[in-house]
Amino acid sequence: MVKLDILSDPICPWCYIGKTQLDRALHEVPGHPFVIEWHPFQLNPDMPREGMDRAEYLQRKFGGKEQAVKVYGQIQRHADDIGLMANLGDIKRTPNTVDAHRLIHWAGIEARQGPVVDALFKAYFVDGRDIGDAEVLSDIADGAGLDAALVQKLLATDEDTKMVQERDIHSREMGVTSVPTFIVAQKHAVPGAQTPDLWVQVIKELMAQEESSDSA
């Protein structure tokens, strides 16, 4: 088996696109060797805990509506081109994602990271829900087979908040500057939302290496 570590933020549209592309490759090669773990990286580590209005966020980030429309228009077109549902105009609030990352971490303990990450992306990019809200996160936990009541209790505390923030800082100190970033076998960093074809090629090369090693 080969470890695939993914640094991502559930409000990152390229992370949503990148996971979709990876999933398509994994579906094409069902015997793939990847064991996947998701790691926290906040696009906006200084975001207020309560998040902020989406229009205000875009104004601050891009310096005006015109540039924001241009950037997100390109993202929307890319999503449309690959047949991915994304209702970017329905997003009303940009959250602080530390609680979403805590949920992903807890899901990992129950081997449910994949379903939780999928649900977070859908909630934000398709349904326009505020994934910084504890009720929304508890609902996502419930839908992914986690104990929603326990998750809600944990979200009301600072449990694992510092750990998530420290892991984020560590990734930056290691040189990660953008997401998604995929790290194959703890050696090779693959940045960006890569195509399924590239992932299929990587998977087949890894499988060939494993077969060669087994027959040696």
User: How many whole angstroms separate alpha carbon 58 and alpha carbon 36?
Assistant: 32
Superfamily of domain covering 2-215: Glutaredoxin (3.40.30.10)
Q: What percentage of the chain carries pLDDT values higher than 90?
A: 90
The angle that helices 65-81 and 54-62 make with each other, rounded to 10 degrees, is 100
- 33's CB contacts (< 8 A; 6+ apart) are 1, 2, 203, 206, 207, 210
In this model, does residue 216 exceed pLDDT 60? no
188-191 and 181-184 strand pairing: antiparallel
Q: How far apart are CA 104 and CA 8, in angstroms?
A: 11
**CA nearest to 123, candidates 142, 138, 113, 136:** 136
pLDDT at 210 (0 to 100): 85
Question: pLDDT digit string (tens) for 17-70?
Answer: 999 999 999 999 999 999 999 999 999 999 999 999 998 998 889 888 889 889
Tell me whether the omega of the peptide bond preceding residue 180 falls within 30 degrees of 0, making it cis: yes
CB 161 within 8 A of CB 98: yes
What pLDDT sits at residue 135? 98
In the predicted model, what is the mean pLDDT of residues 92-120? Answer: 98
Rounded CA separation 166/199 (Å) = 30
194 HSE (CA, 13 A, CB side):
19
Q: Of the candidates 51, 45, 216, which has an alpha carbon nearest to the alpha carbon of residue 137?
A: 51
Give the distance from CA 18 to its chain's centroid: 9
Confidence of residue 92 (pLDDT cuts 50, 70, 90): very high
